[in-house]
C-alpha cells in the first residue's frame, strides 16, 4: 500500500467509522464495493474534508478534491476504493 | 437603454453578457432575523443525537443562524433595511424611481410584494414596483435589472432582496432546516459614472434539483403528498456549483478585462463553507479576498447572501474606500450569474438585527 493510500484509508475511516462502523470490514472483503451507493452525501463530503486536511498535514499544501464528478453516479471516484485512490493520486500529481 | 452584447459566436459559451457605464451602488443595509439559533442547542429538537449533530456541525461548519419570529416576512426585513437607508442618508422617499423586490417568499403569490413595500416606504405612485422570483442568484439578477433601469434613464432605484427561508423548510427537517437563515437587504443604486459587467445564466433542466413542490398551480404525480417545503437534491446542487461557478468567475474576469489581482473581493453566495473553500482553491483566490463565514453565523441568506456578506464582514471596508468586487450568485433554477462592480465609499453599516 502506497503512502498516499495509507493516508486515504486513515482519513476514510475517521470520516465514516461513526456512521458506518462495519464499512472497513466490508471493504476488506469486497474491494470493488460501490462506496458511492453505500455512503450518504454528507459522509462523502466528510471524507473529502478529512482527506484534504490529512493530506495537508502529512504532505503539505492544500489539494482540493471536490469537483463536478464527485456526486455523478456514473463518474464518481467513490464508485470503488481503487477509483478513489487513483483519483486522489491524479489530483496530487497535478498539484 | 444601452446594453452591449458580446459577439454571437461566443454566446453559447458565455451566456447573456452586458455592461453598463452609469449605475453606482450608494448604500447597502442588511437586516437579519432577531432570533439567533445555536445549531447544537437546537439539534435535539430536530431528532439528532449529539454525535450526529457534531458530525453535521463539523462537516457543514454549522454554528448559528438568524431567523424571524412569528409572522414576520421578507418585506418586514427589507422594509427595515430600506428605511434605514432613506432615514440615515436623509433621502426623500419620492426620489426613488423604481423598487425591485427579489424573493421566493413573498407576502402573497399575488400581488407583488414590491407594491406593499412601495406603499409602506412612502414611495411615489410614479415609482415602478415589481417582484422577481429568484433565489440564490437573485441579487446579481436583480442588480442587473436595477442597473439596466438606471442606464436607461432612471436616477434612483431601490433593490430589495431576501427571504424568510426558515418558513420554507420544515422546522424539524435536519437535512435542510439547520442551514437556512432569514435576511432582507436593501441596496440603493443611483445614476453616476461607473463601469460594470454582468453575465447571467440559466438551466431549467435542473428545475427539480432545488424546488418547492406543490407551491404553484402545477400538480405532478411525483409531487403527490409531498409537503410544500424546499426540497433539495444536495448532490446535484454540489455538482452544478463546482461545474459552473469556477468557470463563471474566470469568464466574468475575462469579459471585464480584469485579472484576479485587480479584484479586491470575490463575494459569492454563501451556501456552506466547504463548497466555498473548494471554489476558492480551484480558482486560486487568496483567503483575504474570499469571505466565506456568512452561512456559519447567519445561515444561508439566499438572495441576500451577497449583500449580507458585505454587511456582516466587510462593512468597514466598503464604507472607507473604493472597492472593485466580483459578485456571484448560484442556485435554484438552476440559475447563476456574476458581475464585476466598482464602488466608491458607500453607506454600509454592519448587519442590523430586526427590531423587536
Does residue B10 have a pLDDT over 50? no
Q: Class of A3-93 per CATH?
A: mainly alpha
Confidence at residue B12, expressed as pLDDT on a 0 to 100 scale: 47
Confidence at residue B73, expressed as pLDDT on a 0 to 100 scale: 97
Res. B346 pLDDT band, cuts 50 70 90: very high
Does residue B9 have a pLDDT over 70? no
Local structure of B30: helix, strand or coil: strand
The distance of A81 to chain B (nearest Cα, Å) reads 20
Range in A19-33, B12-26, B162-176, B257-271 with the lowest mean pLDDT: A19-33
Residue position matching grid coordinates 452586458: B18
Res. B56 pLDDT band, cuts 50 70 90: confident
- B236 against B99, higher pLDDT: B99
Check if B60 contacts A (Cβ < 8 Å).
Answer: yes
Res. B123 pLDDT band, cuts 50 70 90: very high
Residue B2 lies in a domain: no
Give me the domain span that covers residue B127. Answer: 18-356
Confidence at residue A30, expressed as pLDDT on a 0 to 100 scale: 66
Q: Which of residues 273-332 of B touch A (CB under 8 A)?
A: 274-275, 277-278, 281-282
Residue B300 lies in a domain: yes
Task: Round to whole Å and give the CA distance between B104 and B303.
Answer: 9
Beta bridge partners of B17: B199
Give me the number of domains chain B comprises.
1
**Which residues, 6 or more positions from B35, have their beta carbon under 8 angstroms from its beta carbon?**
B66, B67, B68, B69
Degrees to nearest 5, angle at CA B296 with B235 and B106: 75
Confidence at residue B2, expressed as pLDDT on a 0 to 100 scale: 40
Confidence at residue B1, expressed as pLDDT on a 0 to 100 scale: 39
Q: Which of residues 4-23 of A touch B (CB under 8 A)?
A: 18-19
Q: What is the mean pLDDT of residues B146-168?
A: 97
Range in A27-31, B81-85, B216-220, B262-266 with the lowest mean pLDDT: A27-31
Confidence at residue B256, expressed as pLDDT on a 0 to 100 scale: 95
> Which positions in chain A touch B240 (Cβ < 8 Å)?
68
Q: Do A18 and B234 touch (CB under 8 A)?
A: no
pLDDT > 70 in chain B, percent: 96
Res. B201 pLDDT band, cuts 50 70 90: very high
Does residue B4 have a pLDDT over 80? no
Mean of the per-residue pLDDT values for chain B?
92
The distance of A2 to chain B (nearest Cα, Å) reads 26
- Write the residue in B55, B281, B282 that is nearest to A18 by C-beta: B55
Residue position matching grid coordinates 485512490: A85
The domain that holds B165 is classified in CATH as 3.40.47.10
pLDDT > 90 in chain B, percent: 81
10-residue mean pLDDT profile of chain A (95 residues): values are: 88 85 72 83 89 91 87 90 92 83
Domain ranges of chain A: 3-93
Q: What is the mean pLDDT of residues B125-143?
A: 97
Q: B273-281: long-range contacts (C-beta < 8 A, 24 or more apart)?
A: B273/B60, B273/B61, B274/A45, B274/A48, B274/A49, B274/A66, B274/B59, B274/B60, B274/B61, B275/A66, B275/B238, B275/B241, B275/B242, B277/A64, B278/A64, B278/A66, B278/B242, B279/B241, B279/B242, B279/B245, B279/B246, B279/B249, B281/A62, B281/A64
Confidence at residue A38, expressed as pLDDT on a 0 to 100 scale: 86
Does residue B190 have a pLDDT over 90? yes
**Which residues, 6 or more positions from A93, have their beta carbon under 8 angstroms from its beta carbon?**
none
Q: Which of residues 163-192 of B touch A (CB under 8 A)?
A: none
Task: Yes or no: say if B167 and B227 are a contact pair by the CB < 8 Å rule.
Answer: no
> pLDDT tens digits for B66-117?
999 989 999 999 999 999 999 999 999 999 999 999 999 999 999 999 999 9
Check if A66 contacts B (Cβ < 8 Å).
Answer: yes
Residue B1 lies in a domain: no
Side by side, the strands of the sheet bearing B323-331 are: B16-20, B196-202, B335-343, B323-331, B265-268
Task: Round to whole Å and give the CA distance between B59 and A43.
Answer: 9
Length of chain A: 95
Helices vs. strands in chain B: H and E counts, helices first: 11, 15
Residue B15 DSSP code = -
Amino acid at each position: 500500500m502506497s503512502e498516499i493510500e495509507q493516508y486515504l484509508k486513515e482519513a476514510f475511516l475517521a470520516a465514516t467509522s461513526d456512521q458506518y462502523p462495519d464499512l472497513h470490514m466490508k471493504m476488506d472483503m469486497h474491494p470493488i464495493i460501490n462506496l458511492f451507493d453505500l455512503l450518504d452525501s454528507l459522509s462523502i463530503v466528510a471524507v473529502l474534508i478529512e482527506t484534504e486536511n490529512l493530506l495537508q498535514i502529512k504532505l503539505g499544501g492544500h489539494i482540493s478534491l471536490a469537483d463536478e464528478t464527485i456526486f455523478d453516479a456514473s463518474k464518481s471516484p467513490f464508485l470503488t476504493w481503487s477509483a478513489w485512490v487513483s483519483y486522489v493520486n491524479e489530483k496530487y500529481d497535478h498539484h | 437603454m444601452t446594453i452591449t452584447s458580446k459577439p454571437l459566436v461566443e454566446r453559447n459559451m458565455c451566456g447573456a453578457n452586458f455592461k453598463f457605464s452609469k449605475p453606482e451602488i450608494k448604500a447597502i443595509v442588511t437586516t437579519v432575523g432577531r432570533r439567533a439559533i445555536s445549531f447544537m442547542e437546537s439539534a435535539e429538537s430536530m431528532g439528532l443525537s449529539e454525535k450526529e449533530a457534531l458530525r453535521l456541525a463539523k462537516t457543514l461548519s454549522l454554528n448559528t443562524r438568524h431567523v424571524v419570529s412569528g409572522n414576520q416576512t421578507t418585506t418586514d426585513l427589507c422594509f427595515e433595511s430600506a428605511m434605514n437607508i432613506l432615514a440615515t442618508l436623509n433621502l426623500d422617499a419620492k426620489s426613488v424611481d423604481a423598487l425591485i423586490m427579489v424573493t421566493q417568499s413573498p407576502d402573497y403569490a399575488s400581488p407583488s410584494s414590491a407594491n406593499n413595500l412601495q406603499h409602506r416606504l412612502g414611495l411615489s405612485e410614479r415609482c415602478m414596483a415589481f417582484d422577481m422570483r429568484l433565489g440564490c442568484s437573485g441579487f446579481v439578477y436583480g442588480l442587473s435589472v436595477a442597473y439596466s433601469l438606471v442606464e436607461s434613464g432612471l436616477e434612483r432605484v431601490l433593490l430589495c432582496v431576501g427571504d424568510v427561508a426558515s418558513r420554507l423548510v420544515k422546522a424539524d427537517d435536519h437535512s435542510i432546516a439547520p442551514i437556512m437563515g432569514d435576511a432582507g437587504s436593501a441596496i440603493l443604486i443611483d445614476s453616476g459614472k461607473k463601469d460594470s459587467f454582468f453575465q447571467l445564466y440559466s438551466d431549467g433542466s435542473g428545475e427539480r434539483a432545488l424546488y418547492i413542490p406543490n407551491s404553484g398551480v402545477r400538480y405532478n404525480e411525483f409531487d403527490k403528498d409531498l409537503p410544500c417545503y424546499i426540497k433539495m437534491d444536495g448532490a446535484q446542487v454540489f455538482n452544478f456549483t463546482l461545474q459552473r461557478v469556477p468557470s463563471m468567475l474566470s469568464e466574468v474576469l475575462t469579459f471585464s478585462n480584469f485579472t484576479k489581482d485587480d479584484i479586491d473581493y470575490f463575494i459569492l453566495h454563501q451556501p456552506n463553507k466547504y463548497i466555498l473553500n473548494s471554489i476558492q482553491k480551484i480558482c486560486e483566490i487568496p483567503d483575504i479576498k474570499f469571505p466565506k463565514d456568512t452561512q456559519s453565523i447567519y445561515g444561508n441568506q439566499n438572495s441576500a447572501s451577497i449583500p449580507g456578506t458585505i454587511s456582516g464582514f466587510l462593512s468597514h471596508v466598503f464604507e472607507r474606500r473604493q472597492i472593485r468586487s466580483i459578485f456571484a450568485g448560484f442556485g435554484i433554477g438552476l440559475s447563476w450569474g456574476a458581475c464585476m462592480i466598482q464602488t466608491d465609499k458607500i453607506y454600509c453599516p454592519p448587519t442590523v438585527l430586526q427590531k423587536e
